[in-house]
């Protein structure tokens, strides 16, 4: 039955049984502990509490008896009154305890003692009240006689009865404690016996569970060892329905598939040997063509290096010509700037000449006015006669000066006019020279731009040829690497042939069935196997 369950369910069943046993043990233990606890609670709630109340009652009664004796024998009224208040309080406490104790009296012995105690208490209270009444009446002798003859004996009997009730409660407590101890011992024995039975039951279950798992595993290990030794002829029967049975089924499938795999590998080694020989022949042909391509690339690289040198020289010459053109452009620009300054100077001279001409015109006008004034002065001097003769001479001299000034002004004006014409002609020539210099500067700049473009194009051409040269060099290097790789591939093909032989020898250790072992082996591979063996 266990063999039809998987290992997980078996383990689950085993743990469930173990858990059930543990729960049973815990349940029994809890039940016995509950019994002990209930008995202890009963002991604490009833007998022990009753015993404490009886003890308190005895203490209060004993104190009341002593106070009553003190009242009966006291000669001081104040002291008697003091003890009377204490006695009243003790009586009240005693009555309350009596009411609490009476419901706890359940056993026949307790009920009998309680009835006896009630009768004694009744007599005791009657004698006490009688003694107190006689004390109030002042009958001291009768009080003393009543106390000695009846109160003290009754008080002694009253105390003894309470003591007997207290002893009965203690006996009940001891009896219940013994019962609790007996329950404890019984529970301990029961738990020990139950634990032993459960250990035996769990041990049997564990042995059955372990045997159901380890026995098929041992069979699977034996099969795996035969496969590891290369024996693929083992006949593996059908397993059970658990994981170990599935493992045996998987080993049987693995054994069959491994047999087919080994047969396939033996067949593939022959094909691998043929393919590796073809690869080796192809690699030899490829190596020859790669060497021819490498030689052609070396020649191309040499030609590209020469072309690169020529282009670099052209680029260098273009850079030098560009530098000369840039220098000429700078000189032309400086000449244009000088001509511009000359034009500005000629414009200044022309403006100054015009201003001088204007000033000469003013001087000519002044000379003309002076001449007119001199004429007027001469006329007036002639009219004055002898008195105006000296003034006439002065006017004549002023007129002569005015005429000479006018003549000089006209001559200067004529010279200035000629100078202005020459300056204007020079200005026109300078303007033409400035325009020509600007044309020269623009032309030089155009040539400089063209030379710059030529220089950049030459540099780009040089860079492009350099990159082409680098690419050719890299192609040469890659071709050399390809040649090396072809040689390595040839060596790898040869190694593949050797590895195919080693693989065939490795799989030859497996023992196959007759149908699976009938696999053809290539003659070359058979010879290689013979040499290796």
pLDDT bucket at 219, cuts 50 / 70 / 90: confident
| pLDDT at residue 211, as a whole number | 77
pLDDT bucket at 203, cuts 50 / 70 / 90: confident
Tens-place pLDDT, residues 396-414 = 887 788 788 778 877 887 8
- Minimum mean pLDDT range among 131-145, 373-387, 495-509: 495-509
| pLDDT at residue 302, as a whole number | 75
Task: Please report the domains of the chain, with CATH numbers, ordered by start residue.
Answer: 2-220 (no CATH), 275-510+517-527 (1.10.287.950)
CB distance 102 to 114 below 8 Å: yes
CB atoms within 10 A of CB 134: 19
Q: What is the mean pLDDT of residues 224-233?
A: 73
Cα separation, 408 vs 412, in Å, equals 6
Q: Check pLDDT > 60 for residue 533.
A: no
CB distance 464 to 254 below 8 Å: no
| pLDDT at residue 323, as a whole number | 80
CB distance 294 to 416 below 8 Å: no
At residue 174, φ and ψ (nearest 5 deg) are: -65, -40
Tens-place pLDDT, residues 61-91 = 888 788 777 777 766 666 666 777 777 787 7
Identify which of 180-194, 301-315, 325-339 has the greatest average pLDDT.
180-194
At residue 231, φ and ψ (nearest 5 deg) are: -90, 105
> What percentage of the chain has pLDDT greater than the value 90?
0
Question: What's CA 351's distance to the chain center, in Å?
Answer: 88
DSSP per-residue letters across 165-228: HHHHHHHHHHHHHHHHHHHHHHHHHHHHHHHHHHHHHHHHHHHHHHHHHHHHHHHHHHHHHHHH
Short-list 265, 262, 212, CA closest to 233: 262
Contacts of 519 by beta carbon, 8 Å cutoff, 6+ apart: 263, 266, 267
Q: Check pLDDT > 80 for residue 207.
A: yes
At 41, list the tokens.
Answer: 């609670």
| pLDDT at residue 94, as a whole number | 81
């Amino acid at each position: 039955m266990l063999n039809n369950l998987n290992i997980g369910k078996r383990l689950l069943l085993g743990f469930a049984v173990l858990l059930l046993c543990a729960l049973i043990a815990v349940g029994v233990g809890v039940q016995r502990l509950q019994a002990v606890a209930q008995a202890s609670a009963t002991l604490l709630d009833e007998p022990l509490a009753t015993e404490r109340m009886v003890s308190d009652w005895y203490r209060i009664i004993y104190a009341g008896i002593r106070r009553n004796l003190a009242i009966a024998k006291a000669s001081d009224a104040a002291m008697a009154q003091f003890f009377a208040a204490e006695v009243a309080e003790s009586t009240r406490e005693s009555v309350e305890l009596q009411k609490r104790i009476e419901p706890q009296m359940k056993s026949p012995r307790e009920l009998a003692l309680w009835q006896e105690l009630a009768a004694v208490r009744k007599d005791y209270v009657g004698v006490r009240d009688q003694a107190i009444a006689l004390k109030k009446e002042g009958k001291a002798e009768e009080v003393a006689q009543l106390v000695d003859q009846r109160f003290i004996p009754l008080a002694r009997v009253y105390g003894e009865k309470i003591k007997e009730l207290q002893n009965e409660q203690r006996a009940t407590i001891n009896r219940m404690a013994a019962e609790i101890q007996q329950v404890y011992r019984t529970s301990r024995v029961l738990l020990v016996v139950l634990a032993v039975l459960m250990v035996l039951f769990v041990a049997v279950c564990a042995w059955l569970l372990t045997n159901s798992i380890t026995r098929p595993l041992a069979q699977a290990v034996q099969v795996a060892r035969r496969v590891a030794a290369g024996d693929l002829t083992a006949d593996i029967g059908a397993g059970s329905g658990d994981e170990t049975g599935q493992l045996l089924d998987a080993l049987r499938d693995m054994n069959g598939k491994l047999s087919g795999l080994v047969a396939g590998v033996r067949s593939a080694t022959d094909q691998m040997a043929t393919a590796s020989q073809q690869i080796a022949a192809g690699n030899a042909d490829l190596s020859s063509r790669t060497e021819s391509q490498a030689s052609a690339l070396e020649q191309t690289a040499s030609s590209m290096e020469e072309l690169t040198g020529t282009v670099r020289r052209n680029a260098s010459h273009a850079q030098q010509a560009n530098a000369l053109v840039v220098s000429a452009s700078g000189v032309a620009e400086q000449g244009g700037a000088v001509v511009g300054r000359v034009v500005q100077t000629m414009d200044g001279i022309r403006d100054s000449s015009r201003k001088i001409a204007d000033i000469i015109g003013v001087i000519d006008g002044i000379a003309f006015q002076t001449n007119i004034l001199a004429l007027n002065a001469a006329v007036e001097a002639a009219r004055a006669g002898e008195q105006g003769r000296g003034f006439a001479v002065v006017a004549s001299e002023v007129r002569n000066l005015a005429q000479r000034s006018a003549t000089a002004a006209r001559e200067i004006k004529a010279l200035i006019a000629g100078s202005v014409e020459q300056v204007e002609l020079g200005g026109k020539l300078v303007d033409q020279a400035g325009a020509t210099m600007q044309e020269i500067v623009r032309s030089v700049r155009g040539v400089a731009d063209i030379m710059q473009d030529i220089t950049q194009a030459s540099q780009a051409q040089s860079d492009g040829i350099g990159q082409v040269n680098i690419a050719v060099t890299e192609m040469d290097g890659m071709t050399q690497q390809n040649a090396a790789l072809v040689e390595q591939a040839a060596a790898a093909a040869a190694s593949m042939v050797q590895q195919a032989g080693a693989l065939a020898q490795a799989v030859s250790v497996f023992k196959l069935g007759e149908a699976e072992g009938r696999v053809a082996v290539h003659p070359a591979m058979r010879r290689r196997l013979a040499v290796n063996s």
